[in-house]
Amino acid sequence: MRENQLNMPKKVYRYYFVLGTNHTLCKVDIVNILSKKGVVFEIIEASEEILLIETKERLEISSLMVELGSVVKAGEIFESYSLNGFPKDFLNEITGLKFKELFLLKKNLDIHFGVSVYNGGGGFKRLNQIWFWAPMMTRSIKEKLNIGYLPLKDRKLPSFLVDKRGLLYHGFELIVVVGSKGIYVGKTLSIQDYKSYSLRDYGRPARDAKSGMIPPKLAKIMINLAGKDKNQIFLDPFCGSGTFLQELVLLDYKNIIGADLEEKAIIASEENIKWLFEKYPLKRENYNIKLFKSDARNLSSKISPGTIDAIVTEPYLGSSKAKFFSPSQIKREIGELTSLYFEAFIEFKKVVKNDGVIVIIFPVFRFKNSFYYLEILDKIYELGFMNRDFLLGEPKGFELLRLNITSRNSVIFFHPDQSVSREVFVFAKTRQ
């Protein structure tokens, strides 16, 4: 091999991830999954809409999307441009080999494309300028390549439309990211399996909306937050209808325990798990799944001390009538929940290993512009737990993430139309 070949720089790959509802949890999920896989990468742009990374490794985006909980789309960056040179410099390249190798690999007479424009941190003035140019750019691509396109109606194509119009297989979605360092153009390689999420959320046989149900996407993010290996033991002591249990199976965790105070919840979980193995190409005999009736405040009577690696759970979040409560009623509700949560943590201390992790949701009540929290953190610390960082690694450029971590070391999963929001915590057990 020639000396100049030995000294050639390695190819650099750049990828983007379009973020879901809660940008903080979504960013944390991406960083943690990549870090756990040993991928060395740098964050080059980040906003509430999108995250861009650079790495010397080629990533299998489709397999990554199976593990990620709330990424809407993901793809590869083709090239970056200065604001002054865009879109002219980009349009000069679309008939070249490099463009065709990424965007036009599949020969198809019916090929068509769509365009989405994202704010990658470049500001709304730049974003509006690029969006203003988008129709002209789209027409130029159509004319130069002689292909059809989707009319520009909104700035961002929803993932279901990318799927419905076959852009992943019979065309392409061209992504334009307006960043703080330049304009990035890329191609979507994979989208969130929204049909499967909807099926697991709304299509499973046992579903109890009255008791409250955690979205499968959030459950998956929380499982990933634990940062544990596939053979370690996971417990959901408030399993309800089994959302966490389902997502653990689909993420290929082998040792799973579900418990609940209500017998009907155990029956529902079993029914949903049976349905899961019928719907997905998985064999139940490859998984060790245990379900039993138990009060979370009495777990140690059913589970041996120091045997659980991770607890991932959403306990009871309070009355479904809370949105009609006055501040005094909310405070009474919080008093009852504080007792439940603290007594559960006493049991968690007994059954969790010394290096164990608890990923748990606390309720946050809202009345007009006031918020009410469970004030039990000091008691939890006294039991021998501490807050664990949400990020399992800190890649180069992580300061660009701008995570919304509260002063309580939590992340609020908030919906404007809800009076009770979810507050996500990660605790690590530090001592007996």
d(CA 154, CA 98): 28
Query: Residue 109: what pLDDT?
Result: 59
pLDDT class of 432 with cuts at 50, 70, 90: low
Q: Pseudo-torsion of CA 389, 50, 216, 281, nearest 10°?
A: -110
Listed ranges 105-109, 136-140, 414-418; the one with the highest mean pLDDT: 136-140
Of the given ranges (34-38, 167-171, 220-224), which has the lowest mean pLDDT? 167-171
Structure-block tokens of residue 130: 């690029």
d(CA 320, CA 304): 34
d(CA 341, CA 205): 29
Question: Long-range contacts: 9-14, Cβ < 8 Å, 24+?
Answer: 10/56, 11/56, 12/54, 12/55, 12/56, 13/54, 13/55, 13/56, 13/57, 13/58, 13/59, 13/76, 14/44, 14/52, 14/53, 14/54, 14/55, 14/76, 14/77, 14/80, 14/184, 14/186
Structure-block tokens of residue 283: 């064999």
CATH architecture of 209-429: 3-Layer(aba) Sandwich (3.40)
Q: Pseudo-torsion of CA 35, 40, 42, 43, nearest 10°?
A: -20
Handedness of CA 173, 177, 178, 181 (dihedral sign): negative
Query: Residue 341: what pLDDT?
Result: 97
d(CA 177, CA 44): 12
Domains 11-192 and 209-429 share a fold: no
pLDDT class of 111 with cuts at 50, 70, 90: confident
Which parts of 216-352 fold into alpha helices (H)?
216-226, 243-250, 263-279, 327-351
Q: Mean pLDDT throughout 268-290?
A: 96
Query: Residue 107: what pLDDT?
Result: 61
Given a cut of 90, is residue 54 above it in pLDDT?
yes
Delimit the domains of the chain by residue range.
11-192, 209-429
- Give the number of other CB atoms < 10 A from CB of residue 263: 9
Angle 243-250/216-226 helices, nearest 10 degrees? 60
Dump the DSSP string for 229-244: -TTSEEEETT-TT-HH
Place of tokens 């809407």: 72
- Give the number of other CB atoms < 10 A from CB of residue 404: 15
Percent of the chain whose pLDDT exceeds 90: 81
pLDDT class of 150 with cuts at 50, 70, 90: very high
Given a cut of 60, is residue 320 above it in pLDDT?
yes
User: Reduced to 3 states, what is the DSSP secondary structure of residue 344?
Assistant: helix
Short-list 137, 304, 151, CA closest to 233: 304
Given a cut of 80, is residue 166 above it in pLDDT?
yes
In CATH, the number for domain 11-192 is 3.30.2130.30
Given a cut of 50, is residue 2 above it in pLDDT?
no
d(CA 361, CA 418): 15
Query: Residue 5: what pLDDT?
Result: 46
Strand partners, 258: 236, 291
